[in-house]
Amino acid sequence: VASSITVHDVAKAAGVSASTVSRALSGNAAVAATTRNRVVEVARQLGYQPNLAARGLITGTTHNIGLVVPDLENPYFASITKSVQSRALASGYSVFIADSDEDTRTELELVHQLSKQVDGLILCSPRMSTSDIAGIAGQTMMVLINREWEGLASVVIDDAEIVRLALEHLHALGHRKVAYVGGPETSWSNQKRWAAIERFAPTFDDLEVSKVGSYAPNFDGGQSAADVVLASGATAAFAYNDLVGLGLLARLNTRGVRVPEDLSVMGIDDVNVATLVSPGLTTVRSPLKKVGRFAVNKLIDLMSPTDRPSSTEDLPVQLVVRQSTSVPPQRR
């Protein structure tokens, strides 16, 4: 771990007491400028590294945070993870990262493991039950991403607005029968999105949106769903996320169904890979980097409250039209 040179070694070498060394290096207490310089210099020469375990033992703080995500290989979570770590680094925090592999039990286990060695936790799109979340919240500072519960701090993307933008786009193109390819039942976002669909669909003239089931939120899930979507008679598929959308594109391509001529396809998130395919995937962009930053900001504010109101910027979503959507066949 660290080198074995302690405050006492520095103290002896600098001709002062251990407490003075501690104060000089902490910087927050009153120390004569000359002694401080001397101590700092000696510490540097000796290569002194404070023992964080000892410090944590007495301060009760670790300067570590934990992040739990369902799947690191999902570019959506990779982006959030990257921004979380980046923002944490800027504030001197190290971050534990844990991948639950979309499994509720693993997720809970990881949370328990981490909660013992962090000052706070960020749970990204947690799949666990609300009662489990409540249990953890009682023990550890916590910020939720893409989930809300009671008074807990959280950062959520506006699922309703995402849905509204998507339906508006498809309806404007002339689509009247749309198939929603659902994500995991345990996904809070999935529930919110379907709820928003049921709320908004009636507001568009003659629009009918059906749900074609619940699929894994990745490429494979999309492939599995494609045939059902086709059979549904819809002219447009609205996928739970971009990966599902890409899976749809792949399977449709295999079956010889042309996109967008025969069927339009939309995703959600505008994950990096959405631009890689052709036709490019029409989608609604989520500000993932911002989500990660905000979550860390909120957590830090929770852990060491300041007076300045934590900036209440919002998280704008935005329609990104590419080639995978167009006018439905009947209208051609």
Partner DNA sequence: TTGTATGCGTTATCAT
Partner DNA sequence: ATGATAACGCATACAA
Contact residues for a copy of itself, defined by CB under 8 A: 1-3, 49-54, 56-57, 60-62, 64, 71-73, 75, 78-79, 81-82, 85-86, 89, 94-99, 101, 106, 109-110, 113-119, 139-140, 219, 246, 250, 253, 272-273, 275-278
The least distance separating DNA from the CB of residue 139, rounded to whole angstroms, comes to 15
Q: Does 20 bind DNA (CB under 7 A)?
A: yes
Q: Does 19 bind DNA (CB under 7 A)?
A: yes
Q: DSSP string spanning 216-266?
A: -SSHHHHHHHHHHHHHTT-SEEEESSHHHHHHHHHHHHHTT--TTTT-EEE
Of 12, 35, 210, 329, the one binding DNA (CB under 7 A) is 35
Residue 88 or residue 170: which is nearer to a copy of itself going by CB?
Answer: 88
Residue 130 or residue 140: which is nearer to DNA going by CB?
Answer: 140
Q: Does 7 bind DNA (CB under 7 A)?
A: yes
CA proximity to 201, closest of 159, 239, 166: 166
Q: Does 50 bind DNA (CB under 7 A)?
A: yes
Neighbours of 234 (CB within 10 A): 24
Neighbours of 321 (CB within 10 A): 13
Question: Both tokens of residue 114?
Answer: 């981490």
Of 27, 47, 57, 205, the one binding DNA (CB under 7 A) is 57
Largest CA distance in the chain: 89
Q: Which does 117 bind (CB under 5 to 8 A by kind): a copy of itself, DNA, none?
A: a copy of itself
Residue 196 or residue 246: which is nearer to a copy of itself going by CB?
Answer: 246
Which of the residues 282 through 321 are near DNA (CB under 7 A)?
Answer: none
Q: Does 54 bind DNA (CB under 7 A)?
A: yes
Helix (H, G, I), strand (E, B) or coil at 119: coil
The least distance separating DNA from the CB of residue 314, rounded to whole angstroms, comes to 37
Residue 30 or residue 92: which is nearer to DNA going by CB?
Answer: 30
The least distance separating DNA from the CB of residue 304, rounded to whole angstroms, comes to 13
Q: How many residues bind DNA (CB under 7 A)?
A: 30
- Residue 12, judged by CB atoms within 10 A of its CB (0-12, 13-18, 19+), counts as middle
Of 31, 162, 165, 225, the one binding DNA (CB under 7 A) is 31
- Residue 233, judged by CB atoms within 10 A of its CB (0-12, 13-18, 19+), counts as exposed
Residue 114 or residue 178: which is nearer to a copy of itself going by CB?
Answer: 114
Of 12, 13, 55, 168, the one binding DNA (CB under 7 A) is 55
Quick one: three-class SS letters along 58-69?
HHCCCCEEEEEE
Helix (H, G, I), strand (E, B) or coil at 209: strand
Helix (H, G, I), strand (E, B) or coil at 288: helix
Question: In Å, how far from its chain's centre is CA 152?
Answer: 16
Residue 17 or residue 278: which is nearer to DNA going by CB?
Answer: 17
Question: Both tokens of residue 306?
Answer: 């300041």
The count of residues in the chain is 332
Residues that bind DNA (CB under 7 A): 4, 6-8, 15-20, 22-23, 25-26, 29-32, 34-36, 48-51, 54-55, 57-59
